[in-house]
């Protein structure tokens, strides 16, 4: 590898990621300091695990920058088929948590194949549209891409994991937009989506997931009708954020965060901890850095050397922005609770490693945006 390509390394992107990871360490430490499970088991053990996950992710981020990303194009189909196989295996050997069979146990640890499947989907779609670049606007080409995305989406929805399935849809939409999909193709899909959602409501979503959507609906339309048990997570989240005020209660001093009053506050509701302990200003800082990071991801897509790199960057953008909007939206009750972590902030082994690998791939694309002349 020619050392001159390191001149193109985006240190602003790296700095933004490191700042968010630092905020993550502080937030997860505070969120798990006094938290316990329903059985009374302390959750403080999650913090050292989180540090290890970040370290593994950072090592992976560096490793994937060392080889030319274009070499991955020929490996995307085997990677995709392997991913489909593992997702299917989840239905046979997976463990159930929070109502979804999404994890595979490896000894005392678990990993979530659907997280790594996001990278696989991004890579295979980018390679597919690059291969059919001359006809990528044609409806048959777009249909092929939809089938490639549809198989893992159906496997994930069957777990059932609606939140992750929604992220996959956002990834496909973002990349399809970058590939030049026609507006009338999207209109046809929108029409077909209506009966699909009805069937999904009737036959895919379980009662707990339906309850989350109904709770969200009643919170928006008539909060008096909300069952306190069904809306407990969101109600506690709103109370905690409101208690934080402008400057927050201070790290490890939040009444809600330190008294086990907000469920899964180290992961799905980490933004609640930030809002309570760092206040509106702290939450705004986190939003600011996430916005800057998303803009830097788009800049990688804009400057990419080829269509393959451009579409990969757009896919990563779709993944990160959907996670960000949905996670913060459910914390402040403008979106239903779907159990998605906040990028670079929430605790989560598979997700943390996946997002850092994605950043490494983006740096790879950025470093090779120009041809080196000898």
Q: Write down the pLDDT at residue 370.
A: 66
- Please count the other Cβ atoms lying within 10 Å of the Cβ belonging to residue 47: 18
Tell whether the model's pLDDT for residue 145 goes beyond 70. Answer: yes
For the chain, give the mean pLDDT. 87
- Tens of pLDDT, residues 324-347: 999 999 999 888 888 899 999 999
Burial 141-153 (b: 16+ CB within 10 A, else e): bbebbbebbeebb
Pairing type for strands 109-111 and 100-106 reads: antiparallel
Paired tokens of 72? 């991955």
| Domain annotation covers residue 372 | no
Residue 156 lies in a domain: yes
Which pLDDT does position 255 carry in this prediction?
92
User: Is 373 within a domain?
Assistant: no
Identify which of 302, 319, 296 has the alpha carbon closest to the alpha carbon of residue 122.
319
Whole-number pLDDT of residue 363: 95
Q: In this predicted structure, what is the pLDDT of residue 373?
A: 40
Residue 112 is assigned to a structural domain of this protein: yes
Best-predicted range by mean pLDDT (88-92, 233-237, 250-254, 315-319)? 315-319
Q: Which two tokens stand for residue 366?
A: 């950025």
Identify the band that residue 372 occupies on the pLDDT scale cut at 50, 70 and 90: very low
The predicted pLDDT at position 222 comes to 66
pLDDT-based confidence at 186, cuts 50/70/90? confident
363 belongs to a structural domain: yes
| pLDDT for position 138 | 81
Does residue 283 have a pLDDT over 80?
yes
For residue 102, the SS3 value is strand
Domain tally, the chain: 1
The whole domain housing 249 covers 3-367
């Amino acid at each position: 590898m020619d050392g001159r390509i390191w001149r193109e390394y985006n240190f602003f992107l790296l700095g933004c990621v490191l700042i968010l990871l630092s905020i993550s360490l502080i937030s997860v430490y505070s969120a798990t300091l006094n938290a316990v499970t329903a059985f009374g088991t302390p959750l403080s053990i999650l913090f050292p695990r989180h540090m290890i996950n970040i370290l593994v992710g950072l090592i992976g981020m560096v490793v994937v920058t060392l080889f030319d990303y274009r070499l991955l194009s020929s490996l995307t189909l085997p990677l995709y088929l392997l991913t489909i196989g593992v997702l299917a295996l989840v239905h046979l050997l997976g463990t159930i948590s929070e109502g979804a069979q999404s994890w595979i146990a490896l000894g005392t640890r678990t990993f979530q194949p659907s997280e790594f499947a996001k990278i696989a989907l991004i890579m295979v779609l980018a390679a597919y549209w690059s291969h059919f670049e001359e006809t990528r606007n044609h409806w048959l080409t777009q249909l092929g891409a939809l089938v490639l995305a549809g198989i893992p989406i159906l496997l994930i929805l069957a777990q059932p994991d609606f939140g992750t399935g929604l992220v996959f849809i956002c990834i496909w939409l973002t990349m399809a937009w970058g590939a030049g999909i026609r507006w009338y193709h999207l209109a046809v899909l929108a029409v077909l989506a209506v009966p699909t959602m009805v069937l999904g409501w009737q036959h895919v979503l379980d009662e707990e997931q339906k309850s989350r959507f109904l709770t969200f609906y009643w919170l928006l339309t008539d909060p008096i009708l909300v069952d306190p048990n069904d809306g407990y997570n969101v109600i506690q989240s709103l109370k905690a954020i409101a208690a934080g005020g402008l400057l927050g209660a201070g790290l490890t001093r939040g009444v809600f965060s330190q008294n086990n009053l907000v469920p899964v506050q180290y992961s799905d509701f980490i933004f609640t901890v930030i809002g309570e302990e760092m206040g509106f200003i702290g939450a705004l800082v986190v939003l600011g850095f996430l916005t800057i990071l998303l803009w830097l991801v788009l800049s990688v897509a804009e400057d990419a050397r080829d269509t393959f790199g451009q579409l990969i960057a757009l896919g990563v953008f779709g993944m990160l922005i959907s996670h960000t909007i949905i996670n913060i939206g459910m914390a402040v009750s403008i979106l239903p609770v779907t159990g998605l972590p906040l990028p670079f902030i929430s605790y989560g082994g598979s997700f943390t490693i996946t997002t850092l690998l994605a950043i490494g791939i983006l740096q790879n694309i950025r470093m090779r945006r120009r041809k080196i002349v000898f």
